[in-house]
């Protein structure tokens, strides 16, 4: 399934993903601002969990849970990021596209 989604992402790039239904496959966070999400990824890579928690609390971010129902809204031009909107939320949150499946 992971490769299937990756193929879908490449085809859908660069912009609108048409609110495709998806479910989260791994716990991850997302932020409404892509630059803040990228900062969080850097903190994850540095294994600085406390700084990551502060970043998430201090910004408009969402912690996704396994199985959470979402809609895929946008794909970045490079297909590295997807803006995913949780059911019941008006905003989408930038995260990794391979963490959701139809």
Q: How confident is the model at residue 93 (pLDDT cuts 50, 70, 90)?
A: very high
Quick one: CA torsion of 93, 94, 98, 101, rounded to 10 degrees?
A: 20
Q: Report pLDDT for 16.
A: 58
Q: What is the pLDDT of residues 23-71, one digit of tens each?
A: 898 899 999 999 999 999 999 999 999 999 999 999 999 999 999 999 9
Q: Please, are residues 18 and 81 in contact by the beta-carbon 8 Å criterion? A: no
Query: What's the confidence (pLDDT) of residue 102?
Result: 56
pTM: 0.78
Residues 83-98, mean pLDDT to the nearest whole number: 92
Sequence spans of domains, the chain: 2-101
């Amino acid at each position: 399934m992971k490769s299937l989604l990756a193929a879908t992402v490449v085809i859908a790039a660069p912009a609108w993903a048409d609110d495709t239904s998806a479910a989260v496959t791994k716990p991850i966070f997302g932020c409404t601002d892509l630059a803040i999400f990228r900062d969080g990824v850097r903190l994850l890579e540095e294994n600085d969990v406390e700084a990551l928690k502060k970043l998430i609390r201090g910004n408009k971010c969402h912690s996704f849970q396994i199985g959470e129902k979402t809609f895929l809204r946008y794909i970045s031009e490079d297909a590295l990021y997807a803006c995913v909107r949780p059911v019941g939320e008006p905003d989408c949150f930038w995260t990794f596209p391979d963490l959701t499946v139809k």
